[in-house]
Amino acid sequence: MGSPKKNENKGFFAAMTSGFSMFGSAMSRSVNGLQGNEGVEVINPEGGKEDAEEEAQKGRWKDEERDSYWKMMQKYIGSDITSMVTLPVVIFEPMTMLQKMAEIMEYSHLLDQADECEDPYMRLVYASSWAVSVYFAFQRTWKPFNPILGETYEMVNHGGISFISEQVSHHPPMSAGHAENEHFIYDITSKLKTKLLGNSVDVYPVGRTRVTLKKDGVVLDLVPPLTKIHNLIFGRTWVDSPGEMVMTNLTTGDKVVLYFQPCGWFGSGRYEVDGYVYSAAEEPKIMMTGKWNEKMSYQPCDAEGEPLPGTELKEVWHLADVPKNDKFQYTHFAHKINSFDTAPAKLLASDSRIRPDRYALEQGDLSKAGAEKHSLEERQRAEKRTRETKGQKFTPRWFDLTDEITPTPWGDIEVYQYNGKYTEHRETSESSSSASNETDLKSIEFNPWQYGNISTE
C-alpha cells in the first residue's frame, strides 16, 4: 500500500500508489536541489508571481549582510552545520530547542482521546492528528538556540502534564524529553542532523519517539518527515516538510501513513496531508486528509481505500486561534511555553527560560543577546576542557543512556531513557515549598553546569 497522491476525480482525497512496504522505512522527498549565489531560484510559497529579483529582496538580510553571510556559508555547503557554525543572533528566536520540543504538547488532548478510545483504528486517527498538529509551529523561519550541555526545560500547568527535557550530549547535539499525565507517557530522544545546500537547509529528525497510552498499555512509534528550510539568505525564508509520516502501533501492528505534499510552484499543494490508517494485515481502514496548518479530517473506507457508503468526512483537529502579526510567528501556546506561567514552583537553575541570551533577545536587545550567547558558548568550551583535563565524564541527570540503538531513515540513534528522578524531585519540591512568583524565578542565575553527574573515567 502506498501513500496517496492527489486524484483529480476524487476531489478531497487521493488514490493509492504502489511500491510502499508497510513495514519499510519512511521515504523522504526533496522539493528543491542545490541553490547557488548565481541565478538563485526563488519560490513564493504563498502564491503569486512576483518578479524573482523583487521577491529576493523580501529576505531578512540587508544586501551587505547577505553577501557577507553567503561568502561565510559557502564553505559549509554539503555539511552538517548543527555544531560547526557560530551563527549571528539575528536569525534566532527567543526559544531553545528544548522548549521547541515541548510545543508538540499543545494539542495533547488528542492523546487523551486516543487513550480513552476503544476503536484501535480511531486511536491512530487521534494520535497521528496530534503528531501533525505541531507542524504549524514548526513552519517558523527563526532558529531556536542550541541548548548548553546539561540545560533543561520544565513545563507544568498544561493538560495535567509534567514535562522535562534535557540536553544530554553536546557532540553530537542530542536532547531527550519526557512528558506524562493520567492518559499517556511521551518519550523522545532527538539527534538533529542538518545538511546545508547553499540557500537552503535540510533538517533530518534523527530520533526515536514513543507514546504509551496508559489505559491499554498501547505503545506507538512515530517517524516524522524531514524539514526543508528554503531561501536562508536570498528571498523570503519559508519551511516545508515533504515526505511521509509513519506512526506504528507496536502492540498490534496497525499503522497510519500520512503523506505531506511538497510545495510546488507558486505554493501549489503546500500544507496538504493525505493518508490511511492500516490494519496489521495492511488493509486500509480509515482515510485521513487535511492541511497541517489548518485541520485534519477522517472517514471510514473500504479495502480499496474508497469512502464507505453512508459515512461522511469528520474533523478531528483544527488549529486554535493564533496571534496576528506576531514578531516571531508564535502561537499563544508558544508564548505560554516561554512564560513563567508554565514553570514549576522550584525552577531548576538550568532552565531555558532564564538563559540570558534567550531572555535578552525576547526583550529585543540583540547586542546583549549576541554577547551573552558568545559568553555561554565560551563557558561551555571551558567546562569541557576542565572535564577532559581531569579525566571526567558528564552524564545527564534526568535521563540514562541505554544499550539500545534505533535505526531511522537518516541514521542510527542511541536511546536515552527517562530515569524517574525528575518525578521524585517535583514531588519533593511541591511538598516543601509554596509557589514562587515570576520575579523570584527570573532572579535565578542560569547554571546548567551544576546538575550533570560528573564522574572520573
| pLDDT digit string, tens, across residues 18-47 | 333 332 232 222 222 223 333 345 566 776
Q: What is the mean pLDDT of residues 80-91?
A: 68
DSSP letter string over 181-209? -SSEEEEEEEEEEEEE-BS-EEEEEEEEE
CA distance 299 to 284: 11
Q: pLDDT band at 13, cuts 50/70/90?
A: very low
Q: State residue 451's pLDDT score.
A: 59
Q: pLDDT band at 441, cuts 50/70/90?
A: confident
C-beta separation of 380 from 150 below 8 A: no
Q: State residue 371's pLDDT score.
A: 94
User: Looking at the predicted structure, is the pLDDT value of residue 82 above 70?
Assistant: no
CA distance 273 to 282: 20
User: Looking at the predicted structure, is the pLDDT value of residue 64 above 80?
Assistant: no
Kindly report the pTM of this predicted structure.
0.85
Q: Is the peptide bond before 172 cis (omega within 30 degrees of 0)?
A: yes
Q: State residue 29's pLDDT score.
A: 27
Q: What is the mean pLDDT of residues 448-456?
A: 64
Percent of the chain with pLDDT over 90: 62
Characterize the bridge pairing of strands 184-196 and 152-155: unpaired
Most confident of 127-136, 258-267, 440-449: 127-136
First to last CA, the chain: 50
The residue type of 280 is: A
Q: pLDDT band at 237, cuts 50/70/90?
A: confident
3-state SS class at 233: coil
Q: pLDDT band at 90, cuts 50/70/90?
A: confident
Beta bridge partners of 392: 456
Percent of the chain with pLDDT over 70: 79
Q: pLDDT band at 192, cuts 50/70/90?
A: confident
Q: State residue 141's pLDDT score.
A: 84
C-beta separation of 259 from 244 below 8 A: yes
User: Looking at the predicted structure, is the pLDDT value of residue 72 above 90?
Assistant: no
Residues 396-427, buried b or exposed e (16+ Cβ, 10 A)? bbbbbbeeeeeebbbeebbbbebeeebeebbe
Lowest mean pLDDT segment, chosen from 29-33, 137-141, 208-212, 297-301 = 29-33
User: pLDDT (tens digit, 9 = 90+) per residue, 325-378?
Assistant: 998 999 999 999 999 999 998 999 999 999 999 999 999 999 999 999 999 999
Cα 132-101-425 angle, rounded to 5 deg: 130
CA distance 53 to 39: 10
